[in-house]
Chains A and B, each alone.
Chain A
Amino acid sequence: MLCLAGYNLSKSYIDSDQSIHVLADATLEVREAEMISITGQSGCGKSTLLHILGLLDMPDSGKVVIGGKEINSQMPEAPAVRNKEIGFVFQFHYLVEDLSARENVALPMIIAGQSSGASLKRASELLSSLGLADRLSRYPNQLSGGEQQRVSLARALINNPKIVLADEPTGNLDPQHSSEVWQMILMLNREFGQAFVIVTHDRESARLASTTYTLTNGKLSLC
């Protein structure tokens, strides 16, 4: 069953009076429990594709369908869909400095209108399952890079989203921490059937996914 799809997505930018086409009729369908990786050279439009699929950016043309319904970033319901249906993991953890790991993870649930007590309880469980039980009250600056990214992963998962979009989730980590995060993602996909779309320039890691695409000249092709 399709949980997210982007059809004929096109996007271009104007740079020094020149139009740069980063996406040209790119189409991607993601099914439940599927793990897709997208590779490509730097600046080829991988992140742009992810932003459009995640309702953070508007395509010039084409459509995004989530849960069978066409939607785009300008629609009033887009924030709620981003909150409940999609989980985000970025290259940089983007954790709120003034909140502990547990509080950071609880944020999407609180934004969804759940009580802070229930959200913090769920966040603790999630962090414990990701091996961070002893880091619940630590602040982002007291965590290692790998731990920060695992907290970020837990935050993406707390609302049980249909899909997690990860933009270079290990791009800022050393090989050891990078491996830890990848193992975590694979475990979540294998044991909980969590769907992932992961953008990475690391071709070796990308092969760990069930389906791998390459983005070249704005078009997606299966590897």
Chain B
Amino acid sequence: MNKLERFFFTKYLEDPKRSLLKFSFMFMVLGIVLSVAILSAGLNLFQGYESSLKDVLLGSFPHITIQDANNEYLGTEQADTIIKQLKKLPQVDKVTPVINYAVMVSSDSRVRGASLNAYDFSGAYPFPYSKYVKEGSNSPKVGEVIVGKYLAKELDKQVGDEIKVIYPQLDRISAMGLYPSERRYKIAGIYSSGFYESDRSLVICNLSDAETLLNINPSFAKLEITLKHKAIGSADAIAGIIQKQLGMDYAIYPWTLFSAGLLRLVAMEKWMIFIIFCFLVLIAGINVISAVTTIITDKRNEIAVLKTLGASTASIKKLFAYQVGLAGVGAIIIGQMLGALLSYFVEKQGFYRLKGDVYFIDSLTAAISPLNQIIVFIVAACLVAGCIYYPLRQIDRLQIIELLRNS
């Protein structure tokens, strides 16, 4: 930046009202503000969706699951031995044995399919999902259950009401047909993780209730491992270590096996949306080209006099580039702020909810990531800079003498 360029640049910053707030810039600035706001809001919402989905997936499902390779139940002693081994691993936070089975839940004339998960609530083992019990007790007693929010809603039941859990026992057919096992439970709490499928189908009960209902001896279907926060990303490697320790009699499933593909898809969708919205900024760039062309036409006399006074063409181009560029940068920053505001309102609005059965989660959340905002700024600035540079080439072709003769 030579002294002339620095002089003008300082002037633009010191007196933006006169230098930058021009009528010819109005549509350019408006176009950039709106397109950047949409780009920024779209990215904030997608980032929010990705983060929420990841939080829900990693918060309401085990990070690693261990079960018998032949799908046999694990005996209590066998499970305790494995748990002791697993607790020696520094990455492991909690190990919880669980029984789970597909059941039916009924209330009056309504019947719904459900997933029964039975945990120990005596304190011997941790229950990792207590934070998702939003109403009632997170420690059901014998004869009590915690029910998913949407399941309770579909059955029209609340905390304190009773539901009937039916286990079809397809392997027990009597002369009278299927002989289901069924029991009535009192709803002790409502489970709401935000993950639609869990909230629509989960029933959580005590181990002893599940043993009675399923008619099994004390045992576990699987062990659920919750990893420490920093180790969640290394679930694959940790699963490999556990597999080596326990041998091939056990099947080890890290969370990535079920959910990583979905998260990758969501991340890819986010960047696809980003690219599509970048085209909006490019369209706004047409206004920039138009604004720069107008300014060059309006300021032909000034270009002529600057050239006459000895300023180089490159310097004159930079003076215009700084002027339009500063207005553009201001518009991008305003656009980003408007985008943040827009995503905040979309998050807080109550008239549109996500369809949980389609999008897995049912609420829109916005996450303003500094990295994303830097990317939005850089991409928008590069697009605007390209749109400024292109029409500035006209100045190369302007001859002083032609400008003076025509003015």
Contacts and interface: CB of A to CB of B under 8 A. Distances in A.
Nearest to A158: B309
Nearest to B315: A111
A79 B311 contact: yes
Contact of A97 (B3, B302, B400, B404): B302
A108 B309 contact: yes
Contacts of B3: 110-111, 113-116
Interface residues of B, number: 25
B19 A98 contact: yes
A215 B260 CA distance: 87
A111 B301 contact: no
B310 A80 contact: yes
Interface in B298-345: 301-302, 304-312
B310 A99 contact: no
Interface centre among B15, B18, B310 (most CB of A within 10 A): B310
B248 interface: no
Contacts of A113: 2-3
B404 A111 contact: no
Interface string A157-188: 00000000000000000000000000000000
B7 interface: yes
Interface string B11-36: 10001001100000000000000000
A56 B308 contact: yes
A56 B401 contact: yes
A96 interface: yes
Contacts of B10: 116
A98 B16 CA distance: 10
Contacts of B6: 116
A7 interface: no
Contacts of B174: none
A92 B6 CA distance: 27
Given A51-B404, A57-B401, A103-B11, A96 B305 contact: yes
Contacts of A155: 309
Contacts of A54: 308
Given A98-B11, A110-B4, A79 B312 contact: yes
A92 B301 contact: yes
Contacts of B349: none
A26 B132 CA distance: 96
Interface stretch (A33-41, A82-90, A205-213): A82-90
B71 interface: no
A56 B400 contact: yes
Contact of A111 (B15, B310, B400): B310
B310 A51 contact: no
A116 B404 contact: no
Interface in A82-139: 82-84, 88, 90, 92, 94-99, 103, 107-108, 110-116, 139
Counting chain A residues whose Cβ lies within 8 A of the other chain, the interface size class is: 20 to 34
A92 B310 contact: no
A94 B301 contact: yes
B304 A98 contact: no
Nearest to A156: B309
Contacts of A92: 301, 407
Interface in B200-258: none
A82 B7 contact: no
B282 to A, nearest CB: 29
Contacts of A51: 401, 404
Nearest to A81: B310
A68 to B, nearest CB: 20
Given A51-B404, A56-B404, A116-B3, A94 B302 contact: yes
A139 B11 CA distance: 13
Nearest to B18: A98
A73 to B, nearest CB: 8
Contacts of A112: 310
Contacts of B306: 96, 107, 111
A84 B310 CA distance: 9
Contacts of B401: 51, 56-57
A207 B134 CA distance: 100
B338 to A, nearest CB: 28
Contacts of A82: 308-310
Give 9 nearest A-B pairs by CB, closest first.
A83-B310, A94-B305, A79-B310, A57-B401, A116-B7, A108-B309, A111-B310, A82-B310, A96-B302
7 contacts: A82-B308, A98-B11, A103-B7, A103-B11, A107-B309, A111-B306, A113-B3
Given A57-B401, A88-B309, A92-B407, 19 more contacts: A54-B308, A56-B308, A56-B400, A79-B312, A90-B305, A92-B301, A94-B301, A94-B407, A96-B302, A98-B18, A98-B19, A103-B11, A107-B4, A108-B309, A110-B7, A115-B3, A116-B6, A116-B10, A155-B309
